[in-house]
Structure 1
Amino acid sequence: MTVPSLNLPAENREFSPYTGLTRDHWCGYADFLLRSAHRHATADHANIHLPGANSAYGPRSDSLEAFARTFLMASFRMAGDPGGTGWLAEWYAQGLDAGTDPRSPDRWPTPGELGQAKVEAASLAVGLALTRDQLWDKLPERVQGQLIAWFETVIGEEYPPINWVWFQIVVETFLASVGGRSSAEDIEAGLAVHDSLYRGHGWFADGPERAYDHYVGWAFHVYPQLWAMMAPGDPRVKARGTLDGDRLADYLDDAVHLVGANGSPLIQGRSLIYRFAAAAPFWVGELSGYSRLSPGTSRRAASGMLDYFARNGAINEHGLLSIGWHGEFNGMKQSYSGAGSPYWASKGLLGLALPAGHRVWTAVEEPLPVERGDTSRLIAAPGWMVNGTRADGIVRVTNHGTDHARQGDRLADSALYARLGYSTHTFPDLSSESLDNAVVLVDDAGCLTHRTGFESHGLTASGDTLEGSSGGRVNWIAIPETIGPDHGGGVAGPVTPGPEVTVTSVTRGPVEVRIVRLRGMADCPPARLRIGGWPLDPASELTSVVVPLDGAGEALDDAGSFVREEPQPMGNGLIVPWVGTSGPAVDGVYVAVVGFGGAGVRAAVEAVRVATDASGASFVEAGK
């Protein structure tokens, strides 16, 4: 099969000084991705069998997923350019017919038969609502009836109390708009779950745990606004309009501070294989009108993400999106991931639903916060201290509130949630036990403690200096060889209690002073303390350093580097510097200085020292 051509215009640096990308570039990428995926479809277009791994739900689920998620992308193209996308309407009309025809050998499993189909039904419903004039209204009555019957199997179904409730809400809202059956009770119950997960200032937890990640943006904020577009006259939509809109605006105020100058979103949380789906909330802010960001800043953030992934191999030589971050990396596969899963990146192309004359496409790109100057920001719900530095364009998050668990849980650390630090320029070590941004005790067998279940002690700011703390009893967890479905959280296993560990972080710019207090070491197995820094690809030009703070606390008399030589999502290995104790740690306070960034980081770390005032009290002082 011949790979379609990627046809892009020349960059426009006058109109888009930061990325060079215009709406025509976005259209070019969308059409290329769609035509490339279509080459793997069945003759009737109902299923797209992409090469690669299957999910736990099997190939019937995965091929539906690929159809539905590419259809969502196609629907954005059709909505924003109805006159130039007839080819897409024709192609997907065939698949919608065959996929819902009960007599077809290629028919899709219904949402009543397969849980994953509940997810994909939402993409189909949203796409049909956005393209009603171009597609739904032109389908034969027979096909409309088939689709209604297929969608109606969601009615009364149970949905987990997470972002999934929106899949039922939008499907039943679409059903109501086309004369199908729907349940007011289902919709109202889903809205109640949604509101129960709200944690303030625009942030939602994806369930009862401290699960904060990109689902906040691409699910909890995108779907309410799409739902509002689907049913603008619904009394529930009218009653919630300002509430949901203000929450979105609050979230975007924080989210724009989590995008690096390289275009990367914060590398944290599950489902990272969706890549530029992280652009979706910026587009939906413009789509709905609920955004305090300028349109040039919104497009800068979104275009930066598409450009970042396009430049770094996310679209392979066959024009397909793979499981991975830059290129393919199957180590990022979760149990629900199949070859069609990465196409939820389609959400990031939501801006194409806006016509070429919309202000977000006509405004000149404006800089991100980290491109205007150094930034410091506290985000209370996830417990994040955000430091961005203009010199290297890096955004760093110091984490004292997120672990995808509840306080008091005794679970292994989730690599994508429980680390002390995440950034736009480093990929976390994907092993549960790691020195990556860690404070751990290492026993004689080489096993590391886990911090999941900690108590968050809060965050404070004084000028550009941020402070946060968390702590509690850490535990050694014997991780079982076979685990259940991976939905982001840490796994359970036999527990050996460790000491109480409190970590306080004081950050400014690229530097963190990490203060560790140990209690109860005499009551647990002998163990050495390790304080780990930021993980870097060995070929990186950035600097990661961690050193003891002279004159502060107990001795940190050992140091080294933790090395993984196998390929990683962003390179061919990783190195994590660490400091610690050469023998068993004892109760007391240990202080290290952790630095990560571009040129000048090592000097900034060395400028941190212990000072004494006239009263004899000691404090930490850092040169600016």
Structure 2
Amino acid sequence: MTTVARLSPLANSLREFDDRVLSPFTGWTRDHWAALADHLLLAARRYASGSHARIAFPGAPGGYGADVDALEGFARTFLAAGFRVAGEGGRDPLGLMEWYAEGIAAGTDPRSPERWVRLDEHHQARVEAASIALVLHLTRPWLWDRLAPAVRERVVEYLAPAARVEYPPNNWVWFQIVVEQFLASVGGPADRGVVDAGLAFTDGFARDGGWYADGLERSYDHYAGWALHLYPLLWTEMAAGDPRAESRRPEYLRRLERYLHDAVHLVGADGSPLVQGRSLTYRFAAAAQFWAGARAGVPAPAPGLLRRAASGIARHFVEHGAPDAEGILTLGWHGAWRPIAQSYSGPGSPYWASKGLLGLSLPADHPVWTAVEAPLPVESGDYGLVVPSAGWLVSGTRRDGVVRVANHGTDHSLPGSHLTDSPLYARLGYSTATCPVLAGEHAGHPLDQSVVLLDGEGRPSHRTGFETLSAGRLASGTLVGGSRWRAHWVDPERESMDLGVGRSGPVRLGPRICVISAVRGPWEVRLARVSAPAGAGNAGGHGAEYGAEYGVLRVGGWPVPADAPAPADASAGGRAAASNGTLRSRIVGGPGLEASGVTSAGAASPLAPWTLVPWCATPARARTDVWYEAAVFLGGDGGSGERAVDGPGEPPTVEWTGRSAARVTWPDGTADTVEVPVAPAPSGTEADR
């Protein structure tokens, strides 16, 4: 059993507000959210400079330095203050607007020792400027309109460089649009052409099913909701009456409504969001997408479901130690755990969690606050969901409340690239109950949720740059998807910053790998084939050109958080399992995958002291153009009392019907025919399957 965090004083105090009639699933109401915001804001004041322009939270400086860290501390907590006061119609018993007004006056004064980093001095200031501009818009009657004329002029001067500085081609373009729109609203030097170009460019991020990619790469993560859906609709509010905003808003709303249908399926019953993608240290920022739907008035999901999802996320973190006993949001997930953040992140960075407080901008009589909570999809029943744009096969199971994703569509890269795999993007699976291995010797060497070839030195290959083959559903409801890639090994450039994505460096190419996933409930049948590239020799079932460079094929299962290393009986004969008493990960190798084990990785994720990864592998060099199969399980531990390697229940079975199809029989008795790509028979040989 993994260690349960002792409730913080904040978590204990919030439980006194619980209302199980209005909120039967979380107990949370608007009072909980308001108390959380006030707690964070009052704790932040202890670390403010004399005039409040800088908030320097404790901890080592981030990769961009202390000046940027302090600006983040101000701007990101300012979001929370703005939402809090806007939703109260200006009522401000904590004096938030006056307190932050003093900071604005000092931060925009170039002669002040507390002055802010300028937009043309450091690119991170361009991010923080958008938060400042947004809150000034939301709280205009109570802050902007009461600033001295000289301070308003300095604010405009501070924001003015936004039109002429460079923004990366991703969600950052919206920061520029928001700043320009605010400048236009106050008679500042706004550039209409910059806004028009930004709007047109971000249109290119839209994908099927209401999803957005974060830029032109296959970047699907929480930014889809807390940035790429949030800012367009807030911009239309800022630009109300502008024909550009009026014409675009219906399409933004349509996309958000469709996206939220998927998003509510990606929250676990315990409130955990999917542990996938970078910037996870922003924690309950993941709730912002649901509040965005409520604020915009989407017809569905219903207000009670939107609040259930948002409150579940916030409650999950509060009851797992975020904020900490001092009221601080540290770099981490639950508690402090620096490796989950990127190298540029500093002590003020986690306060972008303030985005998740957006619901407080809605008054207490808004339907999202007055509706009775509705259950999450994973609380209503088992389901399988396909997200074609991201190449995700989503499986939720009511029994354990876990949501899983089989990933065949996102790696924060482009097809054909040869980068290292980012643990947060390129793994074959993610869930709300597990975390990829993010630190230690296995972080840069794919182990969990992977299909790899080991080279002569035992180093695993990478899959970034894969080609998505399919993502769909069979008539039985079973989900099927696949991808293929050129196995490659990379010596990453050591000097590059950790941006949470794959790294470049000298590359050595190997054979091709194809993986097909069939998913039903807590089980996945994973089919894998190694093929030598066209033109490579093939002797005895091996690509001769590559025979000395690769060997074992290894299939990694789900990473389970645990308090101790795996027991000695965790694997045998191609079967391996890991459990923490509540959650079990299991892998059962088919013919040819008779080797197995459980790797115990210490301090590898923020969920527990140990991460246990079961795997199976070929005992010797993998054969080419042969399909290998493994059954992979993640779900609640049945407590069957069987040996660690066995239970719960029998795995699905696979029978091959020629080279192009496998018949999979699932534990519930359902039988599916799964078609697989046909590989050309090696010259002079007969393909085995």
Shift of 1:187: 0.4
Sort the Cα spacing of 1:48 and 1:612 in 2 relative to 1 into closer, same or farther, 3 A: closer
Equivalent residue, structure 1, for 2:412: 404
Shift of 1:610: 3.3
Equivalent residue, structure 2, for 1:337: 345
Contact 1:411 1:493 in 2 (8 A): yes
Contact 2:9 2:325 in 1 (8 A): no
Shift of 1:40: 0.2
Give, in whole Å, the separation in 2 of the partners of 1:4 and 1:617.
57
Asked if 1:621 is matched to 2:665, the reply is: yes
CA deviation string 1:259-310 (max 9, x = no partner): 0001011110000000100100100111011251110000000000000000
Secondary structure of the residue aligned to 2:227 is helix
Give, in whole Å, the separation in 1 of the partners of 2:151 and 2:140.
14
Equivalent residue, structure 2, for 1:546: 587
Shift of 1:200: 1.9
Sort the Cα spacing of 1:516 and 1:103 in 2 relative to 1 into closer, same or farther, 3 A: same
Q: Which moved more, 1:124-133 or 1:329-338?
A: 329-338
Shift of 1:313: 1.0
Shift of 1:432: 2.4
Contact 2:280 2:341 in 1 (8 A): no
Correspondent of 2:451 among 439, 444, 464: 439
Give, in whole Å, the separation in 1 of the partners of 2:99 and 2:662.
71
CA deviation string 1:296-351 (max 9, x = no partner): 00000000000000011121121000111111111123132111000000000000
Sort the Cα spacing of 1:612 and 1:136 in 2 relative to 1 into closer, same or farther, 3 A: closer
Q: Which moved more, 1:273-282 or 1:485-494?
A: 485-494
Correspondent of 1:591 among 619, 629, 639: 629
Asked if 1:102 is matched to 2:110, the reply is: yes
Shift of 1:36: 0.5
Give matches, 1:36-435, under 5 Å.
36-81=43-88, 82-85=90-93, 87-430=95-438, 431-435=443-447
Give the number of equivalent residue pairs. Answer: 616
Asked if 1:610 is matched to 2:610, the reply is: no
Sort the Cα spacing of 1:575 and 1:448 in 2 relative to 1 into closer, same or farther, 3 A: same
Sort the Cα spacing of 1:181 and 1:429 in 2 relative to 1 into closer, same or farther, 3 A: same
CA deviation string 1:553-606 (max 9, x = no partner): x41120001111235211101010001111111111110000001045965662
Equivalent residue, structure 2, for 1:564: 601
CA deviation string 1:174-205 (max 9, x = no partner): 11111111001110111111111112221111
Contact 1:259 1:395 in 2 (8 A): yes
Contact 2:447 2:556 in 1 (8 A): yes
Secondary structure of the residue aligned to 1:544 is strand
Correspondent of 1:455 among 467, 474, 482: 467
Shift of 1:375: 1.1
Shift of 1:131: 0.4
Sort the Cα spacing of 1:77 and 1:618 in 2 relative to 1 into closer, same or farther, 3 A: closer
CA deviation string 1:148-177 (max 9, x = no partner): 111112122221110001101111111111
Give, in whole Å, the separation in 2 of the partners of 1:53 and 1:465.
48
Shift of 1:4: 10
Contact 1:162 1:193 in 2 (8 A): no
Give, in whole Å, the separation in 2 of the partners of 1:411 and 1:334.
18
Secondary structure of the residue aligned to 2:464 is coil
Give, in whole Å, the separation in 2 of the partners of 1:76 and 1:526.
56
Sort the Cα spacing of 1:308 and 1:5 in 2 relative to 1 into closer, same or farther, 3 A: closer
Letter in structure 1 aligned against 2:614? P
Sort the Cα spacing of 1:4 and 1:264 in 2 relative to 1 into closer, same or farther, 3 A: closer
Q: Which moved more, 1:95-104 or 1:600-609?
A: 600-609
Secondary structure of the residue aligned to 2:471 is strand
Letter in structure 2 aligned against 1:53? A
Secondary structure of the residue aligned to 2:329 is coil
Letter in structure 2 aligned against 1:75? G
Equivalent residue, structure 2, for 1:471: 484
Q: Which runs of 5+ in 2 are unaligned?
A: 1-7, 533-541, 564-579, 640-645, 669-689
Give, in whole Å, the separation in 2 of the partners of 1:569 and 1:182.
44
Sort the Cα spacing of 1:487 and 1:291 in 2 relative to 1 into closer, same or farther, 3 A: farther
Q: Which runs of 5+ in 1 are unaligned?
A: none
Letter in structure 2 aligned against 1:597? G
Letter in structure 1 aligned against 2:373? E
Shift of 1:518: 1.1
Give, in whole Å, the separation in 1 of the partners of 2:91 and 2:662.
70
Equivalent residue, structure 1, for 2:502: 490
| Structure-2-length-normalised TM-score | 0.87
Runs of 4+ in structure 1 over 4 Å off? 3-7, 600-605
- Percent sequence identity is 50
Over the aligned positions, Cα root-mean-square deviation in angstroms equals 1.9
Asked if 1:536 is matched to 2:548, the reply is: no
Equivalent residue, structure 1, for 2:41: 34
Contact 2:631 2:651 in 1 (8 A): no
Shift of 1:464: 2.2
Secondary structure of the residue aligned to 1:450 is coil
Give, in whole Å, the separation in 1 of the partners of 2:346 and 2:557.
33
Contact 1:69 1:344 in 2 (8 A): yes
Equivalent residue, structure 2, for 1:11: 18
Sort the Cα spacing of 1:313 and 1:617 in 2 relative to 1 into closer, same or farther, 3 A: closer
Give, in whole Å, the separation in 2 of the partners of 1:291 and 1:159.
34
Contact 1:248 1:291 in 2 (8 A): no
Contact 1:78 1:85 in 2 (8 A): no
Contact 2:388 2:472 in 1 (8 A): no
Contact 1:594 1:605 in 2 (8 A): no
Give, in whole Å, the separation in 2 of the partners of 1:47 and 1:468.
49
Letter in structure 1 aligned against 2:607? M
Secondary structure of the residue aligned to 2:609 is coil
Contact 2:485 2:513 in 1 (8 A): yes
Sort the Cα spacing of 1:507 and 1:42 in 2 relative to 1 into closer, same or farther, 3 A: same
Q: Which moved more, 1:518-527 or 1:181-190?
A: 518-527
Contact 2:490 2:508 in 1 (8 A): yes
Sort the Cα spacing of 1:85 and 1:171 in 2 relative to 1 into closer, same or farther, 3 A: farther
Equivalent residue, structure 1, for 2:642: none
Q: Which moved more, 1:80-89 or 1:148-157?
A: 80-89
Give, in whole Å, the separation in 1 of the partners of 2:555 and 2:292.
41
Q: Which moved more, 1:149-158 or 1:482-491?
A: 482-491
Letter in structure 1 aligned against 2:560? L
Sort the Cα spacing of 1:617 and 1:119 in 2 relative to 1 into closer, same or farther, 3 A: closer
